[in-house]
Structure formats: structure tokens, C-alpha cells
Amino acid sequence: MARSMPAGPSKDGSLYVSGAWATHHRIEKEIADHVFLGRLATEDKEPGLVLSRYDSKAGTLSSAKAEFLLEDGAPLKMAVHPAGDGVIISFADSCSMFEWEDYDENDIRSAKGSLDVRLKLVPAERVLSGLEDVGPQSCLTFSQDGSFFASGGEDGGIRVFEWPTMDVILDVPKAQQNFTDMDISLDSAFLATTSENSPCRVWDISSGSGLLSTLPYEAGEKFGFCRFSRDGMKPFLFVTITKDTRGYIGVWDMATWKRLGTKKFQEEPITAFATSHHGKRLAIASQTGDISFIEVSKMEVHQRLRLAHIASINYLEFSPNDKSILSLSVDHSARVSPIDLSREWKEWQVWLVLAGMMATSMVLFYMLYAFGDSFWQFPMGRDQPFRPPREALGYDDYKTDL
């Protein structure tokens, strides 16, 4: 397994409690490289939202490129709209939204795959009805297409809204206690939630009908985090499980909501969980600061980053292009780590293989035609041997005297 010490922000004393990859209407997904970091208040720093940039070539995460001071306190949780509409932040008392400030053509310049971005956030004019004075939220998430937004509060309430209208789709008070995680399926039909010492629950949000299924744990098991599959081909739900202090992942079939199997991946509990956008990988973290990348097709560890943090990791998120991962730790440090893509087929390699197969087929066809003694070697023209006599074909050969 590869060993790597990933990059971190400059040591300026900032304490980070939340984070997410930043998206913008004009930032191309393939080269998106900016992250939001939620900063706690310290003696010399005010609470705020920090925008940093990850340089994949240098392997460094910059110090703050922009800072947005927040009057409501520290940003405890955040969720970024996948299409770049802005970011929703949970504070101690309520949730607020921040949008990108208006820009002109010179605000974002793209040259040779690198970005020079001058972006600013401003408080959104829209009011997040239904999220005012709701108290701190344990989980915030958008659906993959950005059409739904869901939150799970420390009060145990689940709230699902249609975006951007904020029409209430689902509102269930005291649905679960102490939410651990939640995720919306790729088709935006289901919401999965987990909490401390309770089963994983699946909610129907396509129709707003509420609780659909409960996935109970077996004796000695404790559920942790949940993620739906993202490849669009295999409808699975992945749930992390702690059993005998070891970290497992269970897989459920979304057609029947029955468990297909469980596999152990580390000797300690899984402390954070993420799914890549293309659905090919899972990422898990440990109490000792390690990050492991799992190939979904084989459910095997592909890469392990030792000591990505010196303390337990509590947050993971793949970059929009799935080439790196953002991680946060209980010691309030933030890191961006590269992912080993050496075993992943690139588009030009696929086309090269297809071209080789076509060329090989043409060569084989020519060899069969030129050197074979099969159908392709039948005689042509008037010199064909074993031609039957003309009278056998009904012709009457004789000379007519004129």
C-alpha cells in the first residue's frame, strides 16, 4: 500500500471544525480545487468561513485565499450545493445560506488547467424557511442533482426540502436520537439515516410518505455511517458497522432492503465514511488517523494513507473530480490527500485498446482471405473447373446455317 503524508494548511493557529469542497457555476468539475473550512474562534481569530485552494502539483493546501467572518458564531456543519448555488451552514441556533457574489467575465480565468479565482460570498437574500431557530444540526446534505436538501437536528428531527423552493417534503420530529449520518440516493428517491445505538432507517422522499424500511443490526453490532452507491448500475446501500471494536462495511440491496453481506476492513472502528462521485471507490478513516480507499467492484482496499492525521479523523469528502480527498480531524486540523489513480483506466487508454482490437480484426480478416482455402478461394470467371456441360444446364449447342 502507498504511504503518503498529505498536505495541510499553513500553521497559522486556525482550528477547523467543518469543511467541504467548494463548487461554483464557472469552475469546471475536472479542475475544481477549492475547499471551504469552518473556523472556530480563538484568541487571535474570529469564527469564519475560510476559502483555501489545493495545488495538486505542489501537494499543498494554501492558507486562506478569502475569509468570511460570521456573526452567528462558528460554522458547525455545512453543505455545498452541487451546482454552485452556495453553501448552507448550521450554527448553534439556526441555519443560514451564503451565495457567491455577482461576478463578471474577469472574475474567473482558466489557463492550462489552472484557475485564478477571485470569489466572494455574501449572505443570501432568501430565507431558509423551516430552518430558522431550529437549533444545531448534526447532518446537512444535498442530493446529487441538487433538487433536495435534508437536515438532521440534534433534537432528533428530520427535515427534507425541495430545492430551491424550500417546500417541505418530509418533517418528522424526534425521528431518531443523536444522528450520526444521512445520505440521499442517486435518484433522489430515498434518504438513509443512522444514529447512535439504533438501526439504520430508510425514508421515502420521492413521495414524502415517510419511513420506508428499518435495517436492524445483529447482536454485537453498532451502525455508524451510511452511503448510497453512486455508479448508477448497482443500487446498494453501504453502512459502516462496529463489532468487537473492529470496522466493517455492510451492503444492502435497495430492491429488497436485505443485507447482502458484511466485510471487515480494519481492526478499529470506522470514524468517517465517503463515496466517490463516480461510485468506484469508498473511503474510510480510523481513530489512529489512517485513510483507506476501497474499490467497490472488488470490495478490497486499493490504497492506505498512514497517519494522514495524528488524531482520529471525523470527516471525509472526495473532490469533485475524485482525484483527492478532504479530511478533518478531532484535533481541528484539515488535510487534502491525493488518491493513487495508477490502476484506473483513462479515457485515452480505453480508445487505444479499442483501436488495437479493430486493427487486429482487420489483420486476421486479411490473413483468412489471402491464405485460407475456404469459401474465399472459390474460382472466378470462365476458368472455373468442374463446370457442368452446357446441355446439363438446358442449353442446345448447334450451329445454325445462315
Sequence-distant (6+) residues with CB within 8 A of 268 are 245, 246, 247, 286, 287, 288
Inform me whether the pLDDT recorded for 91 exceeds 90: yes
CA angle 24, 28, 30 (to 5 degrees): 130
Amino acid 136: pLDDT: 92
What digits encode the pLDDT tens for the residues 148-194?
A: 999 999 999 999 999 999 999 999 999 998 899 999 999 999 999 99
Report whether pLDDT(348) > 60.
no
CA distance 257 to 215: 7
Residue 245: all three cell numbers together: 471494536
Q: What is the mean pLDDT of the chain?
A: 84
Percent of the chain residues past pLDDT 90, beyond the cut: 55
Is the predicted pLDDT of residue 110 greater than 70, yes or no? no
Query: Hey, is 306 helix, strand or coil?
Result: coil
CB atoms within 10 A of CB 397: 7
Place of cell 484568541: 43
Flag whether pLDDT at 248 surpasses 90: yes
Instruction: Return the beta strands (E) in 255-370 as ranges.
Output: 258-266, 272-275, 281-285, 291-295, 300-305, 313-318, 324-329, 334-338
Q: Give the residue-averaged pLDDT of 133-141.
A: 93
Outline where DSSP puts E strands in 22-167: 34-39, 48-55, 60-61, 66-69, 77-80, 87-90, 95-100, 108-111, 114-117, 121-123, 137-142, 148-153, 158-162
pTM tops 0.85, yes or no: no
DSSP label at residue 356: H
Residue with C-alpha cell 446537512?
140
- Lowest mean pLDDT, pick from 160-174, 264-278, 359-373, 385-399: 385-399
* 40 pLDDT above the threshold of 70: yes
Q: What is the DSSP string of 223-238?
A: EEEEEE--SSSS-EEE
Quote the cell numbers at residue 323: 482525484
Taking 60 as the threshold, does the pLDDT of residue 7 lie above it? no
> What are 210-244's pLDDT values in tens digits?
999 999 889 999 999 999 999 878 899 999 999 99
pLDDT value, residue 197: 79
State how far the Cα of 169 lies from the Cα of 150, in Å rounded to an integer. Answer: 9
Q: Which phi-psi region, left, alpha or beta, contains residue 34 (left: φ > 0; alpha: ψ -120 to 50)?
A: beta
Q: Compute the distance between CA of residue 363 and CA of residue 314 in angstroms, rounded to an integer.
A: 57
Is the pLDDT at 345 greater than 70, yes or no?
no
Q: Which has the minimum average pLDDT: 2-11, 262-271, 354-363?
A: 2-11
